[in-house]
Structure 1
Amino acid sequence: MGLGGISIWQLVIILLISVMLFGTGKLKTLGSDLGGAIKGFKNALSDDEREPEALDKKARG
């Protein structure tokens, strides 16, 4: 058993089909874009956590 009931062979077949459809260059670009999106999302979450603290300091000051 692999991830969620998917065996390693099924993952290999999915990977091969993806490479055939999109090519390695497109997949490389897609991976870096996805990584950048996740990084931006994490930064936005951390900014939202910091914002209420900044507003509280302004209200007190």
Structure 2
Amino acid sequence: MGSFSIWHWLIVLLIVLLIFGTKRLRNVGKDLGEAVHEFKKGVGGKEDDKPGQLSDQSRSDATSESKENDRNAQ
């Protein structure tokens, strides 16, 4: 059971291409690349909103909620 030669790998690649087709393999590659990119972005901490900070929309929702709660309490 030695290592495979280049011919073995070419035959395997040909069989995979015949089974899945180039379009599906291209989509799988694209999805995998996007997943790796998102993972690196998540690990690096490059997020739009920092944890603990509210976005502008969330902040305005929280403000309007607190005003409504104040009105109901009176």
TM-score normalized by the length of structure 2: 0.53
Structure 1 residues 1-47: Cα deviation after superposition (integer angstroms, max 9, x where no partner): xxxx3321122112111101100110111111111111111111101
Q: Which residue of 2 aligns with 1:14?
A: 12
Report which of the two structures shows the higher radius of gyration computed on alpha carbons: 2
Give me the whole-angstrom Cα distance separating, in 2, the residues matched to 1:17 and 1:11: 10
What stretches of structure 1 of length at least 5 have no aligned partner?
A: 55-61
TM-score normalized by the length of structure 1: 0.62
- Which gives a bigger RCO, structure 1 or 2 (Cα 8 Å, sep 6+)? 1
Superposed CA RMSD in Å reads: 1.9
What number of residue pairs does the alignment pair up? 45
The sequence identity of aligned pairs, in percent, is 40
